[in-house]
Amino acid sequence: MSQYLALQMLQTGLQYQYLLSHRGKEMLGELLIHQESLAPVHSASSLNNLHHPQIDIILELLDHPHLLWTDNYSLCHLSMSLSSFASICAAPTGPICILSALSDRSIPYSAISLFAALLDELSNSISVLVHGEELLPGCLQYSRPPFPLPGDVNRCIPGQKLCIGDNMKNILIRCSISACQVILGMVQFRETFLEHLNDPRNRYEQRTSDALLLTKTCVRALKVCKLAYDYVLLRASQQFEGAVLAILSTLVSVSSQSDFNSNSSQRIELAQIVICEILDEGRLSPYDFRVSVLCLSFLTPGWKSEEVLINNCLVSSVRRNLQNLLPELSNWLLMWDGDIGAVQWLRSTGQAPMMMLWAEVLSRVEFWIVKRHWTYSYKWLRSLRLLLASCIDREPEIQNLQAVVEEQHGDPSLKEWLNRISLELPSSELPPNFELELLWRYVDGSMTPMLDEDHFGSTV
pLDDT bracket for residue 351 (50, 70, 90): confident
Per mean pLDDT, which of 2-11, 159-168, 315-324, 380-389 is the most reliable? 380-389
pLDDT bracket for residue 141 (50, 70, 90): very low
pLDDT bracket for residue 376 (50, 70, 90): very high
pLDDT bracket for residue 270 (50, 70, 90): confident
Q: According to the model, what pLDDT value does residue 165 have? A: 54
**DSSP designation for 1:** -
Separation between Cα atoms, residue 346 and residue 351, nearest integer Å: 9
Separation between Cα atoms, residue 165 and residue 169, nearest integer Å: 7
Per mean pLDDT, which of 10-24, 225-239, 318-332 is the most reliable? 318-332
For a pLDDT cut of 90, what percent of the chain falls above it?
Answer: 20
Q: According to the model, what pLDDT value does residue 38 have? A: 37
Stretch among 26-30, 34-38, 236-240 having the lowest mean pLDDT: 34-38
pLDDT bracket for residue 248 (50, 70, 90): very high
pLDDT bracket for residue 430 (50, 70, 90): confident
pLDDT bracket for residue 244 (50, 70, 90): very high
**Model confidence at 72: pLDDT above 60:** yes
Count how many residues are written for the chain. Answer: 460
**Model confidence at 23: pLDDT above 50:** yes
Separation between Cα atoms, residue 335 and residue 286, nearest integer Å: 6
pLDDT digits (tens, 9 = 90+) for 77-86: 888 888 888 8
Separation between Cα atoms, residue 237 and residue 177, nearest integer Å: 9
Q: According to the model, what pLDDT value does residue 4 have? A: 54
Say what the pTM is: 0.77
Q: Average pLDDT of 226-244?
A: 78
For a pLDDT cut of 70, what percent of the chain falls above it?
Answer: 69
Q: According to the model, what pLDDT value does residue 81 have? A: 84
Stretch among 102-106, 399-403, 416-420 having the lowest mean pLDDT: 102-106
pLDDT digits (tens, 9 = 90+) for 97-121: 888 878 777 777 788 888 998 999 9
Neighbouring residues of 282: CB distance < 8 A, sequence distance ≥ 6: 288, 289, 291, 292, 293, 332, 335
454 burial type by CB count under 10 A (0-12 exposed, 13-18 middle, 19+ buried)? exposed
To the nearest whole number, what is the mean pLDDT of the chain? 75
Question: CB–CB of 99/43 below 8 Å?
Answer: no
**Model confidence at 456: pLDDT above 60:** no
